[in-house]
Amino acid sequence: MPENENLQDRLRTLLTELMLIPGLSGHEGRVRRHIAAALRKLGLETTTDRLGNLIATLPGDAGAPSVMLFTHMDQLGFVVRKIEADGFIRVERLGGVPERALASQAVTICVGEGRDVAGLIANKSHHATTPDEKYKVVPYMDLYIDAGFASRAEAEAAGVQIGAPVVYRPQVLPISRTRIAGTSIDDRAGCAVIVEVARALLDQPKRPTVHFVFSVQEEFNLRGALTAAQVLKPDICIQLDLLLATDTPDMAYRGDVRLGGGPGISLYSFHGRGTLNGTIPHPALVSLFETASDTKGIPLQRSAHTGALTDSSYVQLVEGGVAAIDVGFPMRYSHSSLEVCDLGDLAQLTDLLVAALTAIDKDFSLDRDDWNDR
């Protein structure tokens, strides 16, 4: 279908651009400017709140429930915690960093656009590795970054300071005609999809008011989107992020989400560790996406799991409650330097969201008594 191929091409271009821009939690400015420019090209005005969330509103039927469609711009990484006298750099972790996949990774120390410093997380020389070290994960506290400096003074002269953001070196690696590997697909893919949803909704005369929110600090504390929701006061929030793909040998027992199998919804999430929160979606929104999937012939995968959660957990608790659902695309190898997604899933997710959003009208009820809970 040519229309869908165009959509896939646009998604590939924007996703690639966004993956190559560093944006650690709390330092999303470069990503935000890029997305704001993309929205401006569509004719949408944007605002930025004090936390850094980027917001654009597309007005629609005032009688229909309003929607906040959101996704996060930030990525996980590190913060410089100490520069050693010999120029090696120690880091603090920011977000759910997989420590067993850190040694030997290339990183970017963000000191300013055009001046960023390349480095690598050192891995002890193999020839000197003892038998018991060979299968041991080195905690991040013991790792160090080699950025080519011979002294602390050299590092400081290059702009490296305590507090500087550090991310996996941004990279994009197409691994098939439709699959992309690379950094921070979580959640630049969600950002690219929302820009395309905005483009499609502009042409739809029948639509509810939709607030597009590109949020900050999700990987840090999962509450960045809250300030936007408190101001926008939506009736519905739809959150976009990855769904854990379970079609690899190590993940099969976790569920039934296939990369390339189309978009999906989360029926249950709970973090369980530290953060006692999660999202059980509003039945009206589950039904909305099931119906959109049926009428458009778009597959809809289902996910339920503990161990992760999204901003929607907090957004749903704003004011008298916001009807919430997590919608997403299958992704492999979450939080590693090379995550994998499928562009076909992103295109179908875009189409599914447009179909679901345009079905929200003045008769769309969020009254719990109108929905039979199972």
Whose Cβ is closer to Zn ion: residue 187's or residue 351's? 187
The type of residue at 340 is: V
Q: Quick check: 351 binds Zn ion (CB under 5 A)?
A: no
Gap between the Cα atoms of 29 and 32, Å rounded: 5
Task: Find where tokens 């299958």 sit.
Answer: 330
CB of 271 to Zn ion, least distance (A): 13
CB of 218 to Zn ion, least distance (A): 6
Whose Cβ is closer to Zn ion: residue 186's or residue 351's? 186
Q: Tell me the Cα Rg of the chain.
A: 21
Window contacting Zn ion (CB under 5 A); options: 7-15, 76-84, 86-94, 178-186: 178-186
Gap between the Cα atoms of 366 and 179, Å rounded: 37
For the chain, strand residue ranges (E) read: 47-48, 54-58, 67-72, 77-83, 89-94, 106-109, 117-121, 145-146, 165-168, 172-174, 179-182, 210-215, 236-244, 264-270, 278-279, 301-306, 323-331, 339-342
Distances (CA, A) of 362 to 197, 203, 260, 298, 359: 21, 20, 34, 25, 10
CB of 142 to Zn ion, least distance (A): 27
Is-contact 54 32, C-beta < 8 A?
yes
Gap between the Cα atoms of 368 and 156, Å rounded: 58
Gap between the Cα atoms of 309 and 289, Å rounded: 20
Question: Annotated catalytic sites, by residue?
Answer: 218
Relative to beta strand 264-270, strand 323-331 is antiparallel
CB of 72 to Zn ion, least distance (A): 6
Q: Binding-site residue total for Zn ion (CB under 5 A)?
A: 3
Q: Quick check: 241 binds Zn ion (CB under 5 A)?
A: yes
CB of 107 to Zn ion, least distance (A): 20
Whose Cβ is closer to Zn ion: residue 15's or residue 83's? 15
CB of 331 to Zn ion, least distance (A): 9
Distances (CA, A) of 82 to 88, 123, 161, 164: 9, 18, 8, 10
Binding mask 90-109 for Zn ion (x = CB under 5 A): --------------------
Instruction: Give SS3 for 20.
Output: coil
CB of 308 to Zn ion, least distance (A): 9
Which of 20, 5, 15, 112 is closest to 71 using CA atoms? 15
Residues 179-198 that bind Zn ion (CB under 5 A): 186-187
Whose Cβ is closer to Zn ion: residue 309's or residue 355's? 309
Contact positions vs Zn ion (CB under 5 A): 186-187, 241
